[in-house]
Amino acid sequence: MNLTSASKSSEDLNSAENKLNLLGQLLSEDEQTLWLIYRELKNLAGNAKLPPCALSNIRAALASIWQVTNDLDIEFEQLYEVGV
């Protein structure tokens, strides 16, 4: 699944539209987009079929977007299981 299809799938959009941040508030449209990007990067980071150079850069991007989702109280988790 690529980011375009992830962004447009009704299941993901419904899930993002109903997602609450850690303070119990609905996410804004921009926060929903950030959360979808975070989820897609997390899925990609766990894909062992990708070349090492791709995985390395995906993990770097995931670390950056994780900081955003953490600071905005959208998602909090540790990413050790995907090598970040």
CB neighbour class for 50 (10 Å; exposed up to 12, middle 13-18, buried from 19): middle
pLDDT of 9:
62
Task: Using a cut of 0.85, tell me whether the model's pTM lies above it.
Answer: no
Tens of pLDDT along the chain (84 residues) come to 445 444 446 666 678 888 888 888 899 999 999 999 999 999 999 999 999 999 999 999 999 999 999 988 888 888 887 677
What's the total number of domains in the chain?
1
Q: What is the extent of the structural domain holding 50?
A: 3-82
- CB within 8 Å of 50: residues ≥ 6 apart: 44, 58
